[in-house]
Amino acid sequence: MARLLESVPNFSEGRRPEVVRDIVEAATATPGVRTLDWSSDPDHHRSVVTLVGEPEAVLVAVKAMTARAIHHIDLRAHQGSHPRMGAMDVIPLIPLTGLTMADAVAAARRLAADLAAAHDLPVYLYGEAAARPANRDLSRVREGQFEGLSSAIARPERAPDYGPARIHRTAGATAVGARGPLIAFNVNLDCADVGVARRIAREIRESSGGLPAVKAIGLSLADRGQTQVSMNLTDFRRTSIGEAYRAVTRAAEAQGASVVESEVVGLVPAEALLGEAARSLRLSGFCLEQVLELRLLDDDGNAGGAKEVGR
């Protein structure tokens, strides 16, 4: 079985296409790595890339991307709606086939140490790789963003896991972690008042007593005259895309707003979308091997087994 590691680097540039292309090119030029997807958002001022390959090749690609991000991006002049603390803001590693979470944690810690040494960069560990329980939550690591971290980093409880206890002058700090698959799911609203989106996010996120396995923040999409409820669904089997969408819709209607559209950022497991379709159609006993394309893609002709979805 092939050993496949996924990484989804997020870097703080979404408005200069030539810069985004150069950073992504560092990944696409790396032997043994497939760049499955990348997207940029000018309101967020952020780009997200999905890579997969043998672990060592993926780490080489991410290191090359980080070097280019640090070269191109100056956070002192960066303003966007999405929270950020670094030029290369966050690098999650996700074990796929032939790897365990322990393998991903070990790779994350090695990557963090290498990036800190190569760039004199403060690097934090988060998620399953966190060295401190408080840092399992990425929002805790990124609290205060680039501007606030410049002073907070000197406090012992906010010190990085690797690198100097001071931010990089232009590149800030980076978070490296290990986690399972998640779905980045955004719902855009037809109102310009970001307070509405923030109240909805507070209502639906798990930390406020809302939906399980949902993280959410409210953001402004000023160029569009809209706001956004930006979510990470960390376990779509506990809260599906449809459940999250409907919760935002209900909360928006209660505040006199409505949904314009939704979007998935990056890739999404087939089961997440097929399960939602099965539930909507009330399909009985529907399983993944009934999907033609999945059967054709599977060398064994069984789409990984007759896994029932939609319940």
DSSP code of residue 229: E
DSSP code of residue 153: T
**Residue 217 structure tokens:** 């923040």
Domain-terminating residue out of 178, 193, 216: 178
- What is the total residue count of the chain? 311
- 112 and 125 Cβ atoms separated by less than 8 Å: yes
* 200: enclosing H helix or E strand: helix 194-204
Residue reference for tokens 């997207």: 39
* One domain for residues 44 and 67: yes
Q: In total, how many domains does the chain have? A: 3
pTM, full prediction: 0.86
* One domain for residues 81 and 113: yes
Domain that holds residue 18: 5-178
* One domain for residues 112 and 41: yes
* One domain for residues 33 and 141: yes
* One domain for residues 96 and 24: yes
End-to-end alpha carbon distance in the chain: 30
Tens-of-pLDDT digits for all 311 residues of the chain?
Answer: 689 999 999 999 999 999 999 999 999 999 999 999 999 999 999 999 999 999 999 999 999 999 999 999 999 999 999 999 999 999 999 999 999 999 999 999 999 999 999 999 999 999 999 999 999 999 999 999 999 999 999 999 999 999 999 999 999 999 999 999 999 999 999 999 999 999 999 999 999 999 999 999 999 999 899 999 999 999 999 999 999 999 999 999 999 999 999 999 989 988 899 988 898 888 898 888 888 888 887 654 444 445 566 65
* One domain for residues 245 and 194: yes
**Residue 143 structure tokens:** 């609290």
Q: What is the CATH number of the domain that holds 205?
A: 3.30.70.670
Going by C-alpha positions, the residue among 93, 90, 118 that lies closest to residue 3 is: 93
Q: Is 211 exposed, middle or buried (0-12, 13-18, 19+ CB in 10 A)?
A: buried
* One domain for residues 231 and 107: no
* One domain for residues 174 and 79: yes
Q: What is the CATH number of the domain that holds 154?
A: 3.30.990.10
- What number of CA atoms fall less than 13 Å from residue 132's CA on the CB side? 14
**Residue 68 structure tokens:** 């280019």
Q: What is the pLDDT of residue 299?
A: 56
Q: What is the pLDDT of residue 41?
A: 94
Q: What is the pLDDT of residue 211?
A: 98
Domain-terminating residue out of 178, 200, 226: 178
- 115 and 121 Cβ atoms separated by less than 8 Å: yes
d(CA 49, CA 25): 11
Domain-terminating residue out of 143, 178, 213: 178
* One domain for residues 63 and 210: no
Three-class SS of residue 76? helix
* One domain for residues 20 and 125: yes
Q: What are the catalytic residues?
A: 82
* One domain for residues 88 and 169: yes
* One domain for residues 189 and 170: no
